């Protein structure tokens, strides 16, 4: 590069035209602009923001730490030289903080609002807990009813098994026919089954007698009272039977309790496990897991 060539990297440029002094018209326009800005009133938002900033600054500044404040000057005139605000140990070293009240509510209004909010929250929480409790109780009740219905079905099955074993031998079968005249002599464990069967037999007889009476040649005025009873046209008045106290006590038990009695009776009397559905050879019942349904799962 020759010396005659310009070095553009190291060149410095200067304004060829120096700043000219402002004219009187320009100075007059500048003064008017500044006066207009000063005379323009501040908006409410700006004033509120300035007031809030000044209040926060004053609250953040301790009265004692600012010797130029009126409070510090008044306390200094009364002999305050700094330290705690009292003679006792542990006295306050700073004034009580100011809590600025917001809103237009009267004294105690904030506490009333807080109380209402707290009561509303407690009410909502109580309703939620109640709903959860009711849902849990409903599920428990449905599960309990389902289990009772299942146990009731097993109870009827156990009664049939017990009846079969009790009437298995010929002598017991004959005794059953005699006992049908007095159901209270039947084993209380399956007496309900015998009562149900006896009631069905009575209803069949009555229905058959009613059908036969329609085809009978006799009219109501020609048949006497005994004939009408025999034909099913009338029902014989039967005196109320004595209360079956033993059966009432047995039925007063829960379904699970009645089923348990039947299971124990079948095991002790016939060595039969209702859960295994098997009759063992002896009382040891070897191979049976236990007496409850859970032990057979």
Check if the beta carbon of residue 162 is closer than 8 Å to that of residue 131. Answer: no
Mean pLDDT of the chain: 76
How far is it, in rounded angstroms, from Cα 155 to Cα 274?
10
What confidence score (pLDDT) does residue 239 get? Answer: 43
Mean pLDDT over 53-75 rounds to: 77
How far is it, in rounded angstroms, from Cα 112 to Cα 232?
82
Evaluate the CA torsion angle 49, 53, 59, 60 in order and state its sign.
positive
166-183 pLDDT, tens digit each:
877 556 556 555 555 566
113-148 pLDDT, tens digit each:
778 888 888 888 888 888 888 888 888 888 888 988
Check if the beta carbon of residue 266 is closer than 8 Å to that of residue 162. Answer: yes
pTM above 0.85, yes or no: no
């Amino acid at each position: 590069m020759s010396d005659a060539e310009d070095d553009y990297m190291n060149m410095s440029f200067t304004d060829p035209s120096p700043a000219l002094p402002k004219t009187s018209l320009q100075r007059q326009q500048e003064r008017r602009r500044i006066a207009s800005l000063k005379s323009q009133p501040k908006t409410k938002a700006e004033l509120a923001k300035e007031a809030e900033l000044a209040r926060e600054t004053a609250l953040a500044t301790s009265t004692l730490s600012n010797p130029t404040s009126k409070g510090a000057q008044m306390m200094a005139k009364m002999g305050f030289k700094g330290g705690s605000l009292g003679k006792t140990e542990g006295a306050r070293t700073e004034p009580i903080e100011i809590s600025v009240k917001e809103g237009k509510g009267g004294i105690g209004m904030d506490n009333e609002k807080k109380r209402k909010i707290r009561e509303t929250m407690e009410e909502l929480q109580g309703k939620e807990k109640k709903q959860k409790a009711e849902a849990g109780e409903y599920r428990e009740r449905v599960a309990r009813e389902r289990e009772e219905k299942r146990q009731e079905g097993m109870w009827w099955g156990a009664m049939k098994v017990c009846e079969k074993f009790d009437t298995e031998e010929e002598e017991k079968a004959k005794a059953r026919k005699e006992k049908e005249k007095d159901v209270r002599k039947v084993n209380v464990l399956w007496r309900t089954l015998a009562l149900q069967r006896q009631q069905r037999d009575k209803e069949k007889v009555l229905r058959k007698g009613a059908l036969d009476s329609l085809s009978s040649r006799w009219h109501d005025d020609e048949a006497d009272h005994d004939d009408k009873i025999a034909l099913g046209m009338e029902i014989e008045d039967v005196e109320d039977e004595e209360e079956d106290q033993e059966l009432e006590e047995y039925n007063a038990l829960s379904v699970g309790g009645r089923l348990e009695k039947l299971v124990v009776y079948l095991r002790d009397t016939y060595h039969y496990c209702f859960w295994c559905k098997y009759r063992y050879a002896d009382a040891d019942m070897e191979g049976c897991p236990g007496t409850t349904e859970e032990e057979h799962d």
